Amino acid sequence: MPHINPYLTFSGNCEEVFEFYKAAFGGEFAAKVRFKDTQTEQPMPVDEGEKIMHVSLPIGKGTLLMGSDMPKSMGAVTPGNLFSISVNTDSENEATTIFNKLSSGGKVSMPLQKTFWGAFFGMFTDKFGVRWMVSYDYQQPS
């Protein structure tokens, strides 16, 4: 059964925002990765290296508040792309089924593929303008 988490996008202040949320909700980050610490296909400009590629903050039982800064190469953050809905699945097959059904008639920005962070992952905007991320993590929590 898939579970859904909000994914927020920022223009360079993601770390500040998530430190604020962490102070409000408590707890510790499950992940906090900077662009400079990743291996991407295209080199990241030096001035964007300190920005957040991915951060996740557990809130309550089973919910993650996630976010990242948007690299300049992907355009500007606007009210329409400030958030995505992240769907985490129990298998590659489930990820593929959900991805294909929800992206039908929409625009795929990253096809489903195996990633360097250990997930089968893809992104798209559905035909109604809602941004989605679909993921199956190979390292399942025990």
Domain ranges of the chain: 3-137
pLDDT of residue 37: 87
101-105 average pLDDT score? 91
For residue 142, name the pLDDT band (cuts at 50, 70, 90).
low
| Res 132 pLDDT > 60 | yes
Q: Which of 137, 109, 136, 113 is nearest to 125 (CA)?
A: 109
**More confident position, 81 or 50:** 50
Mean pLDDT in residue range 44-53: 84
CB 26, CB 59: distance < 8 Å: no
Tokens of 43: 């080199």
- Cβ 48 vs Cβ 55: under 8 Å: no
CATH placement of domain 3-137: 3.10.180.10
Q: Give the count of alpha carbons within 13 A of 132, CB side only.
A: 27
User: 47 versus 57: which is more confidently predicted?
Assistant: 57
